[in-house]
Amino acid sequence: MIRHVVLFTWTAEATAQQQALVATELRALRPLLTGVRAYHVGPDAGLADGNYDFAVVGDFDDAASYLAYRDHPAHRAIIEQTVLPIVAERVSIQYEL
């Protein structure tokens, strides 16, 4: 199984509406994909200073399932149209469970 973790920091100009749209659109991806065991997205809970603003955590059956998600046209469109306009910083990792 592969776990995919992404953290984002938004630009200062990113509106609450834009940030919420990222979550809404990413959550809509799961039904379009196979091989997804768990998929969670959401804003930082605000419990500690210095955290990233938003996280995505997905568990996939295998590397092929993760790559299908990564390269899915709907996912690519969300990144290009919704995420990139407001992202200041992004970090990610994929690891085996």
Task: Tell me, yes or no, if the pTM score tops 0.85.
Answer: yes
Q: What local confidence, expressed as pLDDT, does residue 16 receive?
A: 97
Written as tens digits, the pLDDT of the chain (97 aa) is: 999 999 999 999 999 999 999 999 999 999 999 999 999 999 999 999 999 999 999 999 999 999 999 999 999 999 999 999 999 999 999 999 9
Distance CA 74, CA 57 (A): 17
How many domains does the structure of the chain reveal? 1
| pLDDT for res 85 | 98
Range of the domain at 75: 2-96
Task: Please tell me the predicted confidence (pLDDT) of residue 18.
Answer: 98
Say if residues 2 and 66 touch (Cβ distance below 8 Å). Answer: yes
**3 state DSSP class of 1:** coil
Q: Tell me, what's the pLDDT at 46?
A: 96
The CATH number that applies at residue 77 is: 3.30.70.100
pLDDT at 80: 98
